[in-house]
Amino acid sequence: MATSERPEGGCPVTAATLDRVPGLPGGYRIAADTVDCWKGWATGWDRNQQGDGMYLFRYSTSQGWRVHGQGSAFDCATLGIPKDPDDPPPFCSFGG
């Protein structure tokens, strides 16, 4: 897909695209059914690898997708994502 055709915020994104993001361990393959994409953020993981949960990716128009972190849970407030009960991110919570 040409850059001009990419949906705003990089979503939707495929597992194959996330597999090519710099910073993933060698041989790491994101399972297609684990990808969640929301407003320039995406998560996914490799079912065959052990580790601390999923990878969190962030999209920018200048650099494309980049690894933002890894873990089993993410706090939206820490990521600077405002709480919106009508459109909650699928990959994090707002603490409490």
The mean of the pLDDT values for the chain is 88
73 in helix, strand or coil? coil
Spatial neighbors of 30 by CB under 8 A, at least 6 apart, are 15, 18, 19, 44, 45, 46, 55
Radius of gyration of the chain measured on its C-alpha atoms: 13
Q: How confident is the model at residue 61 (pLDDT cuts 50, 70, 90)?
A: very high
Assess whether pLDDT exceeds 80 at residue 52: no
Q: How confident is the model at residue 8 (pLDDT cuts 50, 70, 90)?
A: low
